[in-house]
Structure 1
């Protein structure tokens, strides 16, 4: 059992890392047999790992059609953007009230990966609060949004510039300005929710 648990934890971390980086697209099927072959292990620990991710809402089980990366409706995607925004604004308020913020510098350059950098910045803001529950909530929302960020990069021409400004405000510990910028960041995405969902639905056709 210990060996199965150890292998399951390994697969869980590998797949979660791939989801976090946006390596899997929204709607894409995740094949347990293929993962078992890739990692050269039996299907059992792979299934344990994947159903742990189902429990975290990072994968959905469509029964007969198998396990997939979530493909959100307009309502669900707008709710997820709202949730991430609320969590980050709460984190900013906590940091401002307790002076706990210890900004961690990120290297944001023209050839940087906006998806990875966005995950890291939002995670750093939440982690600085020292509130474990808040940090965990941001991590989960971050993971759920990562595949969407990867698939929709072309919709935001100034994405890296936008991220650089958020990072600058975070480094300056300017919480009022950061909260305003985070609100604008999420509002731009919420306004494009219909286009985002349509784009993701079209792309998901390739995975069925």
Structure 2
């Protein structure tokens, strides 16, 4: 079941299924080389994490997010990250330099930075909330990069602040980053829609 859960989760947050796609356990079982029961269990677990939607007697589907939903998710993510950095001071033994895994791609790099901040949060509930927000937001990252050419540059500036422990500057950049994403939410939602679906 854990293999099926992790595989299915990776497919969903990578954007393999367009918004609104019905997720049928029997069909998914064939592609995941598993029986329908662990697939259904995984879908229930992902529904609890709000990565997929479940409706009584209607099964499961990839969420169909509206612009307002995306604005709320971005706003919540910015608040959580800012709170995780509040009051943080460089450890005296680090000399002000913090390690951060290097990633060339925007999608991987933004997840790495935000997840690193989340793991460093002192409050366990804050860590859980941040990780959940990061995973639910991952599906938008490719669309962000497509509609905003400055995405990697903005992220590089945040990465540099993190490496040198410039927490005040990083909090400010994270707030600006998420406000920028809120302003772009309508374009990001449109970018995620299947091309056969009319844009509204």
Shorter-normalised TM-score: what interval? 0.7 to 0.9
Q: Is the 8 A contact 1:31 1:67 kept in 2?
A: yes
Query: Unpaired segments of 5 or more residues in structure 2?
Result: none
Q: Is the 8 A contact 1:56 1:140 kept in 2?
A: yes
Q: TM-score, normalised by structure 1?
A: 0.82
Whether 2:138 is the aligned partner of 1:146: answer yes
Q: Compute the displacement of 1:63 (Å).
A: 5.5
Q: Compute the displacement of 1:149 (Å).
A: 1.5
> Following the alignment from structure 2 to structure 1, what is the Cα–Cα distance between the partners of residues 159 and 23?
34
Q: Is the 8 A contact 1:104 1:124 kept in 2?
A: no
Match of 1:107 among 96, 102, 107: 102
Query: What are the Cα deviations for residues 43-97 of structure 1, in whole angstroms up to 9, with x where unaligned?
Result: 0111010111011100012567642221212221111111000000001104339
* Paired position in structure 2 for 1:95: 88
Whether 2:172 is the aligned partner of 1:177: answer no
The worse-fitting range, judged by mean Cα deviation, of 154-163 and 97-106 is 97-106
Higher helix share: 1
* Paired position in structure 2 for 1:77: 70
Equivalent residues in 2 for 1:97-136, closer than 5 Å: 103-108=98-103, 112-136=104-128
Query: Unpaired segments of 5 or more residues in structure 1?
Result: 1-7
Change (3 A) 1:12 1:79: same
Q: Compute the displacement of 1:186 (Å).
A: 0.6
The higher-RCO structure (CA 8 Å, 6+ apart) is 1
RMSD (Å) for aligned C-alpha atoms: 2.6
Number of aligned residue pairs:
196
Q: Compute the displacement of 1:138 (Å).
A: 1.0
Q: Is the 8 A contact 2:19 2:63 kept in 1?
A: yes
> Following the alignment from structure 1 to structure 2, what is the Cα–Cα distance between the partners of residues 98 and 130?
14
